[in-house]
Amino acid sequence: MSNLGPGTIFVPGKPLTDIWAAPGLQWQSKLRAVIASPIRRPHLRFVRNDRNHFDVDNLAYPVLAVSGCGACESVWVTVERGAAEGVWIGEQPPPPPPAEAISVRIEKPNTSSLPGREPPPEITEASVVAPGMLLGLSIEFDSDEVQVGELSFAGPTKSRIDDLGPLLGFRPYMGRSVSDDERVKELRITRGHSPGRTGVRIVIWPLDAGLHPRP
């Protein structure tokens, strides 16, 4: 478990991903009651106790939408199983990824999430990272103007993750094959690594299954 630091708050209840359905709107109301100002470097730790696979970026999006997606300078999210469901909300920049992690640079990343799109050429022939294991994923944008907190389908992060099938593997979804992003249980998003450029570095590493058990 990562140290969320001083000022951390806990919002109890099952974290949800559908922000427009009635339960999702109720979840947003809970979040609005405790998030008083924009969070610039959100550090979110989600806990759920059902058998869903916990799509981490979808869980984070309602929290960031309430706190202000455009205010984010970095994002750090983890998700795990536990009895006391909810989300711990703190503010802390993510640490650098492990030195032994696998990394690849994409010079011209796609800008929106579209089904059936070919992956970037840099990873077309890549091997799946640590098959069957849960993963940490770091997305490091060159530009210092990227909206790293915008986790909707129109944002830069989801399109990056959806393109990573050769590295994450694939899973069936509604009659088609999609990136197996359900393996990702820790997500770190940063920007400003090379201002003036528009590329991105993707870093992936296996996680300790004891801290992030797969259902």
User: What's residue 20's pLDDT?
Assistant: 74
pTM here is 0.90
Question: How many whole angstroms from its chain centre is CA 132?
Answer: 19
Residue 212 has pLDDT above 60, yes or no: no
Give the dihedral sign, CA 105/57/5/49: negative
Burial of 204 (0-12, 13-18, 19+ CB in 10 A): buried
User: What's residue 103's pLDDT?
Assistant: 96
Angle at 69 between CA 152 and CA 76, to 5 degrees: 90
- pLDDT tens digits, residue range 89-111? 999 999 999 999 999 999 988 76
What the chain holds in terms of domains, given with CATH numbers, is: 9-91 (3.30.1330.70), 102-206 (3.30.1330)
Question: How many whole angstroms from its chain centre is CA 148?
Answer: 10
- pLDDT tens digits, residue range 117-174? 788 899 999 999 999 899 999 999 999 999 999 988 778 888 888 889 999 999 887 7
User: What's residue 111's pLDDT?
Assistant: 65
Q: What is the 3-state secondary structure (H, E, C) of 139-201?
A: EEECCCCCCCCCCCCCCHHHHHHHCCHHHHCEEEECCEEEECHHHEEEEEEECCCCCCCCCEE
- pLDDT tens digits, residue range 125-137? 999 999 989 999 9
Residue 27 has pLDDT above 70, yes or no: yes
